[in-house]
Amino acid sequence: MTNDKMKICIVGAGAIGGYLGAKLALAGEAVTLIARGSHLQAIQKNGLRLILADGSSQVATPTLATSDIQEVEPQDVVILTVKAHSVAALAPSLSSLYNSHTMVVTAQNGVPWWYFRQHGGEYEGTRIQSVDPDGIIEAHIGAERAIGCVVYPATEIVEPGVIKHIEGDRFTLGEIDGSKSERIQLLAQSLKQAGFKAPIRNQIRTEIWIKLWGNVAFNPISALTGATLERICQYPLTRELARQMMLEAQAIAEKLGIKFGISLEQRINGAENVGAHKTSMLQDIEAGRSTEIDAIVGAVAELGKLTQIPTPHIDAIYASVKLLETTRIIRNS
């Protein structure tokens, strides 16, 4: 594997995956996009159009765009950009994409399935039931292939085959054992050549927790209330609810050895500064889709039990969103 022209497969070429795939293809990488429906049909017919934040646009032509993973030859890199709850169903089909050195980049929100693999300490090897209850994901990906990734850009599909980049260009990477391996350096270099920021962190779990710290509160509160980030932070009662949930999450993270480099109030203010933004969980609820509630909130509640940290606020909000999700899906079915 060299970074001259890497074979990169984006599994789930939606808003984030399409943004990644388009820029990588425009930079000359051999990109395969796994997509479906009218979005896939538009890509196959016209290429993938990327509208940039300044209003300009570019059209990327992937090496292959398909809904059938079995059509794809082995890859150097597989980037999973589907939602966390979709990974278990996909995992068994991914093996045809692997060769001896294939990396699998896990670009999901929430606690990753590999969190306690190569972690060290008393919880080493513990499976997070909320994310990978039957061990299917680990069995078909394997910790040795996994590369951690924290996604920061905001993008949206404005019509089939057309993705709009709203803000952000950082994809933080990390080996789960904390090493700065040759393979992750090659991956980071490819992302940088495509115009992304791709810092490599030797403590990728800390980076995951910093994003999760806000998501565990703001995503489910927004799903329940229909409110934007700005509104949640400016309304005193929901701001305090978010604060209590974040305090519970912080206690768990610190018990697991995580050190936050910013204060809780700074994290809340950062969310408020995003403005009138609907979280992905609220968008999923409004569309009648399954949410990432288990990976983002349920997994934190599970880690609370594991570390014997009480999580009353997280537990209550988790139960409420789970019922709301079930009700909305039944209503739309």
- Write out the catalytic residue numbers: 211
Residue type, 130: S
Contacts of 279 (CB under 8 A, 6+ apart): 215, 218, 219, 222, 223, 229
Cα separation, 85 vs 292, in Å, equals 6
Where does residue 261 rank: exposed (0-12), middle (13-18), buried (19+ CB within 10 A)? exposed
Pairing of strands 30-34, 64-66: parallel
Please say whether the beta carbons of 136 and 92 come within 8 A: yes
Please say whether the beta carbons of 223 and 324 come within 8 A: yes
Please say whether the beta carbons of 20 and 81 come within 8 A: yes
Residues present in the chain in total: 333
Cα separation, 281 vs 129, in Å, equals 21
**39-47 LR contacts (CB < 8 Å, sep 24+):** 39/13, 39/14, 39/157, 39/160, 39/161, 40/13, 40/65, 40/66, 40/67, 41/160, 41/161, 42/159, 42/160, 42/161, 42/162, 43/13, 43/161, 45/161, 46/161, 47/161
244: tokens are 């209590």
Cα separation, 119 vs 138, in Å, equals 15
DSSP letter for 42, please: H
Tabulate helix, strand, coil % of the chain (nearest 5). Answer: 50, 15, 35
